[in-house]
C-alpha cells in the first residue's frame, strides 16, 4: 500500500552547544541544547498529541472559507457559500513542530518521506513494516525529531539464518531504522563515491557482480592474449564483517565527514550505529536453536572480539564495509600500483604476467591489513596460472571462456527438483498462482546468472530435463478469483527432474 502524497514540508531545528563528538571514543550521550516547546498546542480531538506544533489548528488563523464555485479563499470566517474548511494541522511558514531547530541541515519530513519510499521499494511488507505504516506520518515525524535532537538510537534487530550458499547470520534492522539508514547513506555516499576506485564493485550504483565479472574477463584476456600465460592472485579477508574494528572505522568516517561539513545530526547517527555491538541494542532471534547452530561459532556476531563487528543485512553496514576497505583499495592502486585489481566486498583478485610480482604484493597486502585495519587473510590463498580458471562470484573465468560454478548448478537442480516433486504429475503442473510465480522467479534467477557465461547448451540441457519450465517459466496471467486456489496447467511432456 503506497502512502499518500507527502504533506507540507515540516521543518525541525536544534541549537547545539559544546563538542558533539569528543576524541574519546563512544560516549554514551551526545550533548545537545536549545529550546524545545514543552506544552502541546493541539487541543482538538483527532490531532496528534505527539506533535508539538507552534500554534493551534483550531485557531481562526488556521481556518479558511473556500468558495467552490470560483476558487476564492479567505480566512476571515465570512461565508462565501457555506463551504468551511479547517486545517487538521497547522503549516505555518516557519514550519510545523518547531521545538527543535538547526536550519537547512535539519532532517525534514520531506527527507524522511523519501527515505521511507526508498526503504520499502521492492521489498515484501513485513509485520514490522506494516506496524510502522499503520501510523506512518507520525512515525516519520518522530524519527526526524529524534535525529535533529540527537537522541536517535537503533532498535533491536531481528536475526535469522540464511543457509545459501553457506549458513550465516542476517540481522534485519527495525523498519524505522531502515528509513534512517536510507536517510543517512546517500549523504555519506555523495562524499565518498567520487574517491572510491573504479574497480570496487560491491553495493554501488552501476556496479554489481556481473560488472565485476566482465571486468575480470577483460583483465584476463589482456594479460593472456599478449605473450600467453599469466597468473592471478585471489585473496579473501578472514571473517570480514565480524572483524571490522568499529573505533577504527569511526575515526575514518569522523575525519572525512567533518571535513566535508556533514551535519551534526547525521554525525550522531553514524556514532549511534557504531558505538556499541548489536547485542547491546537488542536481538530478536527468529531462527530455531538448530538453525543457529549451523553457523560456526567464530561467524556469530555475538562472539566477535571487543569493539569489532558489523551486522550483515542492512544498508549502513554494506556502505561502511566499502569505506573500511577503501584504505586497502587506495594502497593497492597507489602504493603497489597494481594495474589489474578487482574487489567485491572482501573477495579480491589481482592479475599479472609475473608470479613473483604477485607473491610480493601478497606479502605487502597481508602486512597492510594487519597493521592498518586489524584484518587477516584466509589461509586459502590462490596463486595460480590463468589457464586453471578464476573461481569468482559464482563463475569460473578462463582466458577463452567462462563457466558457471558447479555449486550454483547443484543449487539450481536442487531448487527446481524440489519444486517439481510436489507439483508435477503425469503431464500436469498443479500449483497456486503464487507458487507459479515462485517457480518463474527461481528459473529467472538461475537463467539470468547463466547468461553471463558461455552456457547456451547448458540452458538447453536444463529445459530438456525440466520440460515443464517451458510452460511455467513464462509470465502467466491469473484471474484474481484464482488467487490462493490450485490451478492445473497441461504440458506436452513433463519430467519430474
H/E stretch holding 465 = helix 456-465
pTM of the full predicted structure?
Answer: 0.76
Burial class (CB in 10 A: 0-12, 13-18, 19+), 352: buried
- Provide the 3-class DSSP secondary structure of residue 133: helix
Q: Cell 605473450 maps to which residue?
A: 227
Residues 6 or more apart whose Cβ sits within 8 Å of residue 284: 156, 157, 158, 159
Residues 245 and 373: beta-carbon distance below 8 Å: yes
- pLDDT tens per residue across all 497 residues of the chain: 445 444 333 333 333 333 333 333 444 444 333 333 333 333 334 343 344 434 444 444 434 444 444 444 444 444 444 444 444 443 333 333 344 445 567 899 999 999 999 999 988 888 889 999 999 999 999 999 999 999 999 999 999 999 887 889 999 999 999 999 999 999 999 999 999 999 999 999 999 999 999 999 999 999 998 777 899 999 999 999 999 999 999 999 999 999 999 999 999 999 999 998 888 888 888 888 888 999 999 999 999 999 999 999 889 999 999 999 999 999 999 999 999 999 999 999 999 999 999 999 999 999 999 999 999 999 989 999 999 999 999 999 999 999 999 999 999 999 999 999 888 887 788 889 999 999 999 999 999 999 999 999 999 999 999 988 888 877 888 888 888 888 888 776 544 44
Long-range contacts of 282-291 (CB under 8 A, 24+ apart): 282/155, 282/156, 282/157, 283/156, 283/157, 283/158, 283/159, 283/171, 284/156, 284/157, 284/158, 284/159, 285/159, 285/160, 286/158, 286/159, 286/160, 287/159, 287/160, 287/161, 291/161, 291/163, 291/167
**What is the rounded distance in angstroms from the CA atom of residue 488 to the CA atom of residue 482?**
11
What end-to-end distance do the CA atoms of the chain give, in Å? 39
Amino acid at each position: 500500500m503506497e502512502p499518500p502524497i507527502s504533506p507540507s514540508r515540516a521543518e525541525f531545528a536544534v541549537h547545539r552547544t559544546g563538542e558533539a563528538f569528543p576524541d574519546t571514543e563512544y560516549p554514551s550521550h551526545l550533548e545537545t541544547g536549545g529550546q524545545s516547546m514543552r506544552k502541546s498546542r493541539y487541543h482538538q480531538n483527532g490531532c496528534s498529541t505527539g506533535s508539538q506544533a507552534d500554534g493551534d489548528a483550531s485557531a481562526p488563523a488556521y481556518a479558511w472559507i473556500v468558495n467552490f464555485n470560483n476558487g476564492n479563499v479567505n480566512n476571515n470566517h465570512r461565508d462565501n457559500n457555506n463551504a468551511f474548511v479547517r486545517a487538521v494541522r497547522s503549516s505555518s511558514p516557519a514550519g510545523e513542530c518547531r521545538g527543535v531547530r538547526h536550519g537547512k541541515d535539519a532532517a525534514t519530513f520531506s527527507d524522511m518521506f523519501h527515505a521511507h519510499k526508498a526503504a520499502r521499494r521492492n521489498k515484501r511488507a513485513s509485520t514490522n513494516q506494516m506496524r510502522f505504516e499503520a501510523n506512518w506520518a507520525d512515525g516519520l515525524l518522530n524519527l526526524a525529531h529524534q535525529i535533529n535532537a540527537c537522541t536517535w538510537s537503533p532498535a533491536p534487530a531481528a536475526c535469522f539464518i540464511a543457509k545459501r550458499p553457506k549458513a550465516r547470520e542476517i540481522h534485519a534492522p527495525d523498519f524505522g531504522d531502515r528509513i534512517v539508514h536510507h536517510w543517512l547513506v546517500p549523504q555519506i555516499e555523495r562524499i565518498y563515491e567520487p574517491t572510491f576506485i573504479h574497480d570496487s564493485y560491491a553495493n554501488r550504483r552501476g556496479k554489481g557482480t556481473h560488472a565485476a565479472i566482465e571486468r575480470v574477463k577483460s583483465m584476463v584476456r589482456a594479460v593472456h592474449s599478449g605473450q600467453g600465460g599469466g597468473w592471478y592472485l585471489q585473496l579473501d579477508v578472514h571473517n570480514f564483517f565480524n572483524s571490522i574494528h568499529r573505533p577504527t572505522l569511526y575515526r575514518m568516517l569522523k575525519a572525512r565527514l567533518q571535513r566535508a561539513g556533514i551535519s551534526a545530526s547525521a554525525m550522531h547517527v553514524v556514532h549511534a550505529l557504531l558505538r556499541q555491538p548489536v547485542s547491546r541494542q537488542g536481538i530478536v532471534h527468529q531462527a530455531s536453536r538448530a538453525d543457529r547452530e549451523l553457523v560456526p561459532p567464530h561467524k556469530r556476531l555475538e562472539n566477535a572480539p571487543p569493539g569489532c563487528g558489523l551486522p550483515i543485512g542492512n544498508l549502513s553496514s554494506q556502505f561502511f564495509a566499502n569505506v573500511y576497505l577503501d584504505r586497502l583499495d587506495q594502497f593497492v592502486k597507489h602504493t603497489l600500483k597494481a594495474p589489474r585489481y578487482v574487489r567485491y566486498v572482501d573477495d579480491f583478485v589481482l592479475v599479472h604476467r609475473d608470479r613473483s610480482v604477485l607473491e610480493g604484493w601478497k606479502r605487502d597486502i597481508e602486512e597492510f591489513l594487519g597493521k592498518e585495519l586489524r584484518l587477516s587473510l584466509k589461509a586459502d590463498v590462490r596463486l595460480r596460472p590463468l589457464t586453471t580458471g578464476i573461481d569468482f562470484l559464482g563463475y569460473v573465468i578462463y582466458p577463452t571462456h567462462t563457466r558457471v560454478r558447479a555449486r550454483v548448478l547443484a543449487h539450481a537442480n536442487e531448487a527446481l527438483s524440489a519444486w517439481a516433486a510436489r507439483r508435477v504429475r503425469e503431464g500436469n503442473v498443479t500449483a497456486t498462482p503464487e507458487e507459479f510465480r515462485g517457480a518463474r522467479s527461481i528459473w529467472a534467477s538461475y537463467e539470468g546468472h547463466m547468461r553471463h557465461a558461455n552456457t547456451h547448451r547448458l540452458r538447453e540441457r536444463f529445459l530438456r530435463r525440466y520440460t515443464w519450465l517451458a510452460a511455467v517459466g513464462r509470465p502467466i496471467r491469473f484471474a484474481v478469483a484464482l488467487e490462493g486456489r490450485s490451478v492445473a496447467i497441461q504440458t506436452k511432456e513433463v519430467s519430474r527432474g
